[in-house]
Copies of this chain bind each other. A is one copy, B any other.
Amino acid sequence: MAEHISKQFDMELETIRTRVLQMGGLVEQQILSAVEALLAGDIDKLDKVIAEDALVNAMEVTIDDDCLHIIARRQPAASDLRIVFTVIKVITDLERIGDEAKKIARMGKTIYQSERYQMPRFREIEKMADSALSMLRRALDAFARLDTSAALELAEADQELDEDFAAELRQLITFMMEDPRTISMSIDTLFISKAIERIGDHATNISEYVVYLVKGKDIRHTTLETKKRETLG
């Protein structure tokens, strides 16, 4: 009987982990669609991204609810409790990545629907989005495989993405100074690159929760040195 309950409990934990990965897949698709639609100037696709953010939000609410039911019925302890806690934290970040995808889509609409002096130039945005997407995939993969080494890699990738954002900012300021007619569009582009930079932060958070899940050690808000010690040690 105890074994039976334990198996069912394991299955429930496995189900919420699977749902987190489904939510992660949806969020990944949202970013991808937002950036593709932005590059193509595809307003319908941008509208679809904005509308489908509701699905991401609904998944967060459902998974939170599942977690609470598991805690109430199963009274998990130790590593089981850490799984549930990690899921509650991870989906908060996934939901906010969803928000960033929606923001990218909204800014894209603003850019294409306003009068433009020249076509937008999204080369850097494309590069930053590739980095952020690869960070998100790496974080979700780490969550799926309980891989703690991602935290260190993502902390380093996040620093690079921050530097890319700073470079993009400097470049946009140069454009605006050279030709003030580009100011409005440059500000919209700036917000898009800011949204992408934020996706990197959230992906990094997720990989840090995986370290907590596996090792029980909280490495949030620590230096790169500490992360190195805790994830590789």
Contact = CB atoms under 8 A, between A and B. Distances in A.
Interface of A: 54, 57-58, 60-61, 64-65, 68, 71-72, 75-78, 81-82, 85, 88-89, 92, 169, 173, 176-177, 180, 183-184, 187, 190, 194, 218, 220-221
Given A71-B81, A75-B75, A81-B71, A54 B221 contact: yes
Nearest to A75: B75
Contacts of A88: 85, 88-89
Contacts of A75: 75
Contacts of A60: 220-221
Given A176-B183, A180-B177, A218-B65, A71 B71 contact: yes
A104 B194 CA distance: 15
A80 to B, nearest CB: 10
Per DSSP, chain A at the interface is: helix
B183 A169 contact: no
A60 to B, nearest CB: 8
Nearest to A53: B221
Contacts of A183: 173, 176-177, 183
5 closest cross-chain pairs (CB), A and B: A57-B221, A75-B75, A72-B77, A177-B180, A176-B183
